Structure 1
Amino acid sequence: MSHRFRFRVVIGALVGLAVGSAMGAAGGVARAAVTHEEVERAIREGVRWLKKQQNLDTGAWKDYVANEARTGLSSLVTLALLTAGEPVDSPAIRASLDNLRKWGPEQLDSTYAVALQTMVYAAADPKRDFQRIVANVTWLERAQIVPSDEVDWPGSWTYNLGKRGRRGDNSNTQYALLGLHAASEAGVQAKPAVWNLARAYWEGAQRGDGGWGYFHKQQDQLSTSSMTAAGISSLVITGLRRYQGSEEIHGEAIQNCGKGTTNINLQRGIAWMANRFQVGQNFPTGQSWRLYFLYGVERAGRLGGVRFFGDHDWYREGAEALVHEQDKLGGYWKGAVNEGDPLIATSFALLFLAKGRAPVLVNKLRHGPRGDWDNDADDVRNIVNLVSQDWKHLLTWQVVDPGSASVQDMLQAPIVFLNGHQAPEFSDLAVHNLRDYVDQGGFIVADACCGRPEFDAGFKKLMKQVFPEEAYQLRPLSDDHPVWRAKHLLAPNAYPLMGIEHGCRTVVIYSQKDLSCFWNQMDRTDRDRKNPAVGLATKVGQNIIDYATGRELPADKLIVREVHDFKADAPKRGSLRIAKLQHGGDWNIAPLAVPNLMEALRKPPLGFDVAVSQKDLAPGDPNLIYYPFLYFHGRAAASFSPEDLDALRKHVDPGGGTIFADAACGSPGFDASFRRFAAELFPNNPLIPIPKDDELFSEKVYFNLKDAQYTKAAGGGKDYPQLEGVKINGHWSIIYSKFDIGCALERHSGLDCKGYVYESALRIAANVVIYSTLP
């Protein structure tokens, strides 16, 4: 009886393999209460409704207060549409911009309207509207209340230029700062005095409980959720990114390294929100301006790098509430009291949903009891902002504690970053989670803050705990490592980078020389921005991120990350088992490729009867008969003895076995050796391209593979897989890919890896497995 006949029993189970299940099932975790698809649908419907409300003749939407904030509501709606992905050249946006450009700041004379208009210009076409942004910034500078305006608490804004003797409020003030912040990202910088005065105002306006009210604390106003969210984001905008702290860079030297960056006001504000966060109300006022509050929470969480306020995953909870509150027929939202106007409510809802879903690029790791993990509060924030600008896509970051967060939580970002002065302190659980994170495709970046030897020694010890195997050691990166050319072309000795190789790529990059302090300073002054040392550290950071991610965008926050359990299992009788073929090369370069594939096939609701763990076998092993499906790959050349070839020949014909192989990351060395192997194994049956109309690529097996996605290194784009095979008795008994599949299956394909992306690699491999069982 042939292997192929014996394993026909698995076909019934495999026919249940669904695309969504194979590609996106959560590894043993409960499905999220709100899904990515539900949020996307809500955003689409909200956009559709807003566009229908536009006056097609004027390009405007009705004003909230006709003679006070002209164009303010039109700007808010336009900003919501742009944030939700409406193209700049769409008829709705073009018409709105034409209308907004008719109004200068002097005509508007409204802090809200000028600030929102500035945010629209910066989001849409900042080059075309550069001079308009300049004019708006100048107006906002003039509108700021200063000491000479005879007000006790300068640094704030009120509704317009008529400020003398009037008190500012925290709502106008936050929107003025949002406008100035958007302008700065478009290249128009406000005067340093504006930022400094505003920062001092927010610090002075904070109440004793750590929150903020609508007015300065001395106006006897209660702290509210909406104004506290405004205080948190405003401190980030005005303080942590705008004023010179204790650190100073002189040439390549960092004076007062790591000192003076903790902002107690910010921490008190976050603590206030953590203790009182409720997605259902703007504490303590209930439903009043609740959607305005949620948009503020989005900014506070994103700018502050906060994923959880207390135990609350603010984006997931807010998204779940908004999805269920949306009018299912109309597609709009309608709030209470002031937000009874669905134009206002829908705009705030879209701003929360669309901007809050921004992919997380980096998790900044909390460690140790001394707060040593955050000596440079703006390091990750600044480098992520730079990458966002380079990739032209909003990206964010967050603080994560690996000792309490799940691996699934950590996988929300493809990179984790840590540094410090002292030896990092991680619990046993945190060490375990770090290893699981890497095994599931994550990447570790670290540097010794201020070049401190204590951290250097401690980090090296930590890596030995995370990677106890002898094969995984921290070594200097080679001169030809792709990180040196991932974005900027850097000399290999530009920075003393070390790394750990795991499977198909480097999974840890560590700098003994400070990177974070330079990142911390990169957006503070013109002098720092132009400093060569800052520029070099910034380029190194960009190269590391581009290498670690392959410049592939992370999934948004609501995409459930897969977490596989690779525990060794005892296969049942009749289960499909896969053997990994040992050969005279680096035969185990992707040790988790097979477990990843098999775990995807066996997960509920699939119920496919497979053994997750692979069996490592040499060609002459007598147990080979129990493993009809053999997989092997490598980067170096593979070699087999005549006896090995004879055993494999008998395994395939007449044994009915299947050999599946791929060149790790498209390695030319392995590719050449495999072609020799195939020619020696069956000299009368050549290795030939498998035609695109073969059933292997079609639904006749299971997946239609016509749109397999190639990695950027392999040319990008979508097409049929480029597979080759050897036919024995009318069946492809040897199937080979010159492009990588195995490294992609364990999510460890690097920037230079020529192959397929994970989802496509999984589909290709699944089809090959199913095909091998067909009679």
Structure 2
Amino acid sequence: MSQTRGALFRLTLGLVVGSVALTVAGPRTADAAVTREEVERAIREGVRFLIKEQKENGSWQDYNDGRFKTGVTSLVTLALLTAGEKPDSPAILKAVAYLRGFRPGQLDSTYTIALQTMVFAGVAPEKDGNRILANVDWLERAQIRPDAAPSSRGAWPYGIGRHEGVDNSNSQYALLGLHAASEVGAAVNPEVWNLARSYWQGAQQADGGWGYHFRDQHSTASMTAAGVSSLVITGLRRYQGAEHIEGGTIHNCGKGGDNINLGRGINWLANNFSVGQNFGLGQQWRHYYLYGLERAGRLAGLRFFGEHDWYREGAEKLVHEQDRLSGFWRGGGGESPLLATSFALLFLSKGRAPVLVNKLVHGPRGDWNHDVDDVRNLVNLVSQDWKNLLTWQFVNPAEATVEDMLQAPIVFFNGHAEPVFTAVGERRLRVYVEQGGFIIADACCNSPIFHEGFLKLMKRVFPEEEYKLKPLSDDHPVWRAKHLLSPTAYPLWGIEHGCRTVVIYSPKDLSCFWNQLERSERDKQNTAILKAAKVGQNIIDYATGRELPADKLMAREVHDFKVDAPKRGALRIAKLEHPGDWNIAPLAIPNLMSVLSKPPLNFDVTISQKPLRPTDPNLIYYPLVYVHGRAAASFSKEDLDALRKHVDPGGGTIFADAACGSPAFDASFRRLAAELFPNNPLVPIPKDDELLSTRVYFDLKDAQYTKAAGGAKDYPQLEGVKINGHWSIIYSKYDIGCALERHSALDCKGYNYDSALRIAANIVIYSTLP
């Protein structure tokens, strides 16, 4: 992440209803000192504590002398699952077997039945489908019906018929249980969502927050977080605005809006933000509040509440408060160590979930967010398909750094009017793509104005003629990335940049259909919505190669590729020009050299590469020559003579790879090697060779192949030509160069970024050895 954390970072979303603006990020404070490794250690130690406390029968000590039987067991089990315990681990198997022994009638508690439902949905929803349905039925019957007083109508008490126990905490957990059930296919009566939404809107205080009871005198942080997440959950099930779809036609397109109550709740959390206390209650139920804060931030797509990076600040606080000896967290005001530790693990584990898509803010004001649930719904669909929790967030490229933008591998934007970014924002879009990012866009409501504006924007961001936006070919891999789609399914356009397509744009609306993905059962069966969803999944699978993004705490590094003057004695690399696409990954070598120049390697290197023809007399100053491409490469007799002389007797090394495993380049390079040294054929480099070991630098036995190359972890498949006991030609039929640009498309046969970096580093270091 960027080191300029004292800089102002103000992001005012264009979610405006009436005169209320929703501010989600403001002046940014310094990064919390917490590291990814510290969080992982804290999670491991917390898991160890919880498992140690499990009883022989699979349960954990009930709360308050058994008042909420099985509630703690369900909460702990949920925390363990979220923290990475496998469903078939001994602790989870014992816990779930214990929970299956209790039916709703035996529990009679909103908390316990909701939490049990969340566990069943997270472990084996197919096996526990009837149990989930029974719990849904109980929760629906427990909700206070429409004929009750407004102060309780649509809320939940502690149990069926217990009106005296109605409160916002019970109501929050009932919705969490129903939401978990609906996400695994259980039908929930739409009226339940409608009643609950009306209740939460009516229960909101004048200051924008929520209290424990309907319109309490004082708002609290825990209940305001509950109010925000409850509005989002119920909003996913009840359409806001006039937009609807019949057949393939969008009626009242773009006529919707964000909810004024949601904006006021988020502003309350921003204005009263703290991870050290549950504002309004001090230390009481603080860990319960942090779990609610995580949920509110994640569901609303917010990285910041006001000026606060809520996950980093909360993680730093929790990491430093954990009991280092036993691994638990001490609760306050009613929280036992079991409860506090479970809530802490839920915050740490869920809150760091990878961000898949950044939804970009752009002008004119508010035009960027006509479909408030489009990205949320698409990311949820991909999460279910990948079986991993993924998130999304709002980002303004005029204010966010490139490092911030790289927290997600994809950015998305659309609109009705011409998209307007600042000059700084446009430059950051270009750098974001050069650093491995991917752009998805569509013309909301098929807007011709946005379409023309988008074409102009792309010409400014990518002015080079070779990066022209044009329709994707019929054989583009996006049509088969997940679903087999006809190229006529959607009129997708793209920009090729280096090894890959880096922009995919649809002049036909996609987002309005994505916005309906979580609506009524009728909408879920609409063929136009289903087709748009498949197109969205295909684009995301192509853009990412189905590789999970790193979690939130993984540092994103932006390499500086400015041209630097060669220094005496510095390691330099020449990139070989040839009649093919010799520069398909223009930033591969600068990326590599930038890493080599930093700890722990600390090589004295020249970051920029030198493009040279084989016959250039300056080639003598570049002992390592890199060559790659996707198309076939051809060389003249003069080229061959010069390269042969450079290697033997010149002592130079040729390093080559086939971009994305291209068969055309592979065949042409094998011809080149045979013509250069007919008596020294390319042979596989043995797995025990020093080149692949720590005798050079990195141990390469666990190189990670991309899914297109089989997805295995194994030694890299390198071949070479040995002259005078030295590998003078080192070749990979699998891609290295495109991976060094963080290219991860589904069709690329090669290695992932980390493995490509280690392989290339070993080759560079090996080439310098005497």
TM-score category (smaller protein)? over 0.9
Which of 674, 679, 684 matches 2:669?
674
- Which position in structure 2 is the counterpart of 1:533? 528
Instruction: Summarize deviations over 1:397-451 as a string: whole Å, max 9, x none.
Output: 1111111111111111110000111111101111111111111100000000000
Which of 288, 298, 303 matches 2:299?
303
**Rounded Cα–Cα distance in structure 1 between residues aligned with 2:219 and 2:611:** 63
Please tell me whether the aligned partners of residues 146 and 195 of structure 2 are also in contact (alpha carbons under 8 angstroms). no
1:288 maps onto 2:288 in alignment: no
The residue type equivalent to 1:241 in the other structure is R
**Rounded Cα–Cα distance in structure 2 between residues aligned with 1:42 and 1:644:** 58
User: 1:711: how far off?
Assistant: 0.8
Provide TM-score, normalisation by structure 2: 0.95
1:42 maps onto 2:37 in alignment: no
**Rounded Cα–Cα distance in structure 1 between residues aligned with 2:151 and 2:588:** 66
User: 1:163: how far off?
Assistant: 3.1
The residue type equivalent to 1:735 in the other structure is I
Q: 1:303 to 1:197 in 2, by over 3 A?
A: same
Instruction: Summarize deviations over 1:712-734 as a string: whole Å, max 9, x none.
Output: 11111011111111112121111
- Which position in structure 1 is the counterpart of 2:690? 695
- Which position in structure 2 is the counterpart of 1:18? none
1:107 maps onto 2:106 in alignment: yes
**Rounded Cα–Cα distance in structure 1 between residues aligned with 2:149 and 2:549:** 50
Please tell me whether the aligned partners of residues 570 and 604 of structure 2 are also in contact (alpha carbons under 8 angstroms). yes
Q: 1:625 to 1:112 in 2, by over 3 A?
A: same
User: 1:26: how far off?
Assistant: 8.2
The residue type equivalent to 1:304 in the other structure is A
1:71 maps onto 2:67 in alignment: no
Which of 584, 604, 607 matches 2:602?
607
User: 1:104: how far off?
Assistant: 1.5
Which of 554, 558, 567 matches 2:553?
558
**Rounded Cα–Cα distance in structure 2 between residues aligned with 1:83 and 1:665:** 35
- Which position in structure 2 is the counterpart of 1:636? 631
**Rounded Cα–Cα distance in structure 2 between residues aligned with 1:96 and 1:394:** 22
**Rounded Cα–Cα distance in structure 2 between residues aligned with 1:288 and 1:27:** 35
User: 1:245: how far off?
Assistant: 3.6
Please tell me whether the aligned partners of residues 447 and 512 of structure 1 are also in contact (alpha carbons under 8 angstroms). yes
1:118 maps onto 2:117 in alignment: yes
- Which position in structure 2 is the counterpart of 1:139? 138
**Rounded Cα–Cα distance in structure 2 between residues aligned with 1:216 and 1:412:** 39
**Rounded Cα–Cα distance in structure 2 between residues aligned with 1:617 and 1:315:** 48
The residue type equivalent to 1:129 in the other structure is D
User: 1:240: how far off?
Assistant: 3.7
Please tell me whether the aligned partners of residues 498 and 586 of structure 2 are also in contact (alpha carbons under 8 angstroms). yes
- Which position in structure 2 is the counterpart of 1:236? 232
User: 1:577: how far off?
Assistant: 0.6
Deviant stretches of 4+, over 2 Å: 25-32, 65-68, 147-153, 240-245, 604-607
- Which position in structure 2 is the counterpart of 1:53? 53
User: 1:87: how far off?
Assistant: 1.5
**Rounded Cα–Cα distance in structure 2 between residues aligned with 1:749 and 1:28:** 29
SS at match of 1:673: helix
SS at match of 1:659: strand
After superposition, where does 1:434-473 map in structure 2 within 5 Å? 434-473=429-468
**Rounded Cα–Cα distance in structure 2 between residues aligned with 1:147 and 1:513:** 42
Higher relative contact order (CA 8 A, sep 6+): 1
- Which position in structure 2 is the counterpart of 1:223? 219
Please tell me whether the aligned partners of residues 362 and 413 of structure 1 are also in contact (alpha carbons under 8 angstroms). yes
The residue type equivalent to 2:609 in the other structure is Q
Structure 2: which 5+ residue stretches go unaligned?
6-29
User: 1:261: how far off?
Assistant: 3.0
- Which position in structure 1 is the counterpart of 2:372? 377
Please tell me whether the aligned partners of residues 145 and 163 of structure 1 are also in contact (alpha carbons under 8 angstroms). no
SS at match of 2:549: coil
**Rounded Cα–Cα distance in structure 1 between residues aligned with 2:503 and 2:706:** 21
**Rounded Cα–Cα distance in structure 1 between residues aligned with 2:31 and 2:755:** 23
Please tell me whether the aligned partners of residues 155 and 196 of structure 2 are also in contact (alpha carbons under 8 angstroms). yes
Please tell me whether the aligned partners of residues 473 and 500 of structure 1 are also in contact (alpha carbons under 8 angstroms). yes
SS at match of 1:501: strand
Which of 186, 190, 206 matches 2:184?
186
Which of 567, 571, 574 matches 1:579?
574
SS at match of 1:404: coil
**Rounded Cα–Cα distance in structure 1 between residues aligned with 2:421 and 2:521:** 38
- Which position in structure 2 is the counterpart of 1:264? 260
User: 1:338: how far off?
Assistant: 1.4
Aligned length: 746
Please tell me whether the aligned partners of residues 665 and 749 of structure 1 are also in contact (alpha carbons under 8 angstroms). no
- Which position in structure 1 is the counterpart of 2:92? 93
SS at match of 2:467: coil
User: 1:168: how far off?
Assistant: 2.1
**Rounded Cα–Cα distance in structure 2 between residues aligned with 1:772 and 1:742:** 17
User: 1:151: how far off?
Assistant: 5.6
Structure 1: which 5+ residue stretches go unaligned?
1-24
- Which position in structure 2 is the counterpart of 1:503? 498
The residue type equivalent to 2:435 in the other structure is Q
- Which position in structure 2 is the counterpart of 1:710? 705
Root mean square deviation, CA, Å: 1.5
SS at match of 2:515: helix
The residue type equivalent to 1:376 in the other structure is D
SS at match of 1:661: strand
Instruction: Summarize deviations over 1:191-215 as a string: whole Å, max 9, x none.
Output: 1111001001111111111111111
1:318 maps onto 2:314 in alignment: yes
**Rounded Cα–Cα distance in structure 2 between residues aligned with 1:65 and 1:74:** 13
- Which position in structure 2 is the counterpart of 1:737? 732
**Rounded Cα–Cα distance in structure 2 between residues aligned with 1:458 and 1:520:** 23
Q: 1:301 to 1:512 in 2, by over 3 A?
A: same
**Rounded Cα–Cα distance in structure 2 between residues aligned with 1:373 and 1:285:** 38
1:348 maps onto 2:343 in alignment: yes
- Which position in structure 2 is the counterpart of 1:390? 385
**Rounded Cα–Cα distance in structure 1 between residues aligned with 2:588 and 2:239:** 49
SS at match of 2:502: strand
Please tell me whether the aligned partners of residues 237 and 520 of structure 2 are also in contact (alpha carbons under 8 angstroms). no
**Rounded Cα–Cα distance in structure 1 between residues aligned with 2:508 and 2:565:** 47
User: 1:607: how far off?
Assistant: 2.7
Provide TM-score, normalisation by structure 1: 0.94
**Rounded Cα–Cα distance in structure 2 between residues aligned with 1:362 and 1:152:** 39
The residue type equivalent to 1:235 in the other structure is L
- Which position in structure 1 is the counterpart of 2:247? 251
- Which position in structure 2 is the counterpart of 1:14? none
**Rounded Cα–Cα distance in structure 2 between residues aligned with 1:368 and 1:47:** 46
Instruction: Summarize deviations over 1:456-477 as a string: whole Å, max 9, x none.
Output: 1111111111111111110100
**Rounded Cα–Cα distance in structure 1 between residues aligned with 2:736 and 2:118:** 44
- Which position in structure 1 is the counterpart of 2:16? none
Give the fraction of aligned pairs with identical amino acids, expressed as a percent. 73
SS at match of 1:364: strand
Instruction: Summarize deviations over 1:268-287 as a string: whole Å, max 9, x none.
Output: 11111111111111112221
**Rounded Cα–Cα distance in structure 2 between residues aligned with 1:668 and 1:604:** 36
- Which position in structure 2 is the counterpart of 1:200? 198
SS at match of 1:78: helix
- Which position in structure 2 is the counterpart of 1:129? 128
SS at match of 1:732: strand
SS at match of 2:121: helix
